[in-house]
Structure 1
């Protein structure tokens, strides 16, 4: 359950052009004073189009690979709370160029942000959006809580784990820090490079007659934990509004229930308007797949009372309807 407590002071959100932030900002606006000059930070080129931001938020641009730009941003805004969502968050894309861009954004950008906060906003609370991918091969041992060892297996996860360590080392005792290790989360507006929108987009294109009735998939036997993006936002806002009473720095944000990817696809196919054949595509098989991801969110639940409020069926139906709307809105359709 989401705390309805107010969040006092000025808020800065990085990654404002991303999927999660687009869901977060309208919800966040209900917890803050609109007169304080909150900041939604987009990439260096700014938003793709004129952003529709909630009252009290202004759009700013910043290259998170440019330490000087980050310093100037924090000096100008002087936030009381920072929600650091900006990241290169695709596991598949993290292998490109030897992982250099992933490390530059996820680690170097986070380190520069931490330094700028210490210089210009040393009382700010930082919520860092990390990932349960940091556990990696440790999932072979079974269900994991925050005390488990980590063994990340890809550049995305390794860069996030290194950023966690850096933040804990440099901010310890100096600036309030919350590390939210987020499970897979999805919803309307997520890129089709992620698994559920990928399935849904193929279904929508097949229904529209744009592709033959064959859906290409990777490893369907893997078991993963999924949340609706709005449940993740509930957790983030709950952690922030209770930051002064939290007993720990690191929290798993997950449903606690692994589900086979095959079962999720079957639920989506049951919603399809026509029969569809499923065919494995070797190009979609990801290296270092962990068979089962079993995450214990007990610390978050026990300390805050948060629990997921949306079902998997709600999540899947929403993702499919979103992809249908996108396909229907394409020129020539």
Structure 2
């Protein structure tokens, strides 16, 4: 009997590349699909799949907030519907899709996410797939991509002040390695999780002002110089679907046993250390 086939959509991305490396250690076959595929081609790539991990929901600019961009809707909603339509009757593969843990409506992705989750849940009830939606908070783990932590680290390394708009804002910051273990846990417990969305995160909010100070201090320690200043600017930036969002992972933990294991201090130290090496 052949090992199960796992298809990763968005395999060259921030999370996807790490997931593929982890899957390579497992007794599975892997089909890695990059983010540049059009919707029909990406849907066709799942033929024969036992598991599909859909990570290709970011827009062309690499962020969630590309308002008005039709590409965002195609990735969030159109691809989910195309995946379901492409499944052979009777197979019911596991489909794990990721989205954000914030309040819908703040960004293009926030508006499209509920429709994508509903499409996956409906397909699960119809017996076409075993669909699982994981709602993620702010994910970090590198300084060369999108995201608040990456932007702050790059600015601090460049000696630029870290500018805050609304210092009381909080985020739940989840390391990319913990995202990968959550995806693997979802696959392993697919039958118990299918048909619903699940919050995945640390469950512990971090004030953005404190995060900024920690990043400035970490860069300063590596560089042997004074930390860059942290400046509070007003008025606050418009709210988005990550701001203030804290993912409560209790339900997901109860089913899978998963917990976030990378402490924020250690995760930030790794990001800063790697970024400084890249800048040498």
Equivalent runs, 1:1-333 vs 2, <5 Å: 9-33=4-28, 36=29, 38-44=30-36, 62-64=37-39, 67=40, 69-75=41-47, 78-88=48-58, 93-95=65-67, 98-117=68-87, 119=88, 122-133=91-102, 136=103, 151-174=104-127, 175-188=129-142, 191=145, 193-206=146-159, 213-246=160-193, 249-271=196-218, 272=220, 273=223, 274-275=225-226, 276-280=228-232, 285-288=237-240, 292-328=244-280
Distance between the aligned counterparts of 2:92 and 2:265, measured in 1? Answer: 41
Note the C-alpha offset of 1:304: 1.4
Instruction: Determine if contact 2:124/2:194 at 8 Å carries over to the other structure.
Output: no
Query: What does the per-residue CA deviation read over 1:223-263, in whole Å, with 9 as the maximum and x for residues that have no partner?
Result: 11111111111111011112234476321101111111111
RMSD: 2.6
Query: Relative to 1, partners in 2 of residues 1:242 and 1:27: Cα closer, same or farther, differing over 3 Å?
Result: same
Instruction: Determine if contact 1:19/1:190 at 8 Å carries over to the other structure.
Output: no
Note the C-alpha offset of 1:299: 0.6
Secondary structure of the residue aligned to 1:306 is coil
Normalised by the size of structure 1, how large is the TM-score?
Answer: 0.74
Instruction: Determine if contact 1:222/1:290 at 8 Å carries over to the other structure.
Output: no
The number of residues matched between the two structures is 271
Secondary structure of the residue aligned to 1:227 is strand
Query: What does the per-residue CA deviation read over 1:244-301, in whole Å, with 9 as the maximum and x for residues that have no partner?
Result: 3447632110111111111111111111232212235679934447763233211111
Unaligned runs of 5+ in 2: none
Normalised by the size of structure 2, how large is the TM-score?
Answer: 0.87
Secondary structure of the residue aligned to 1:180 is strand
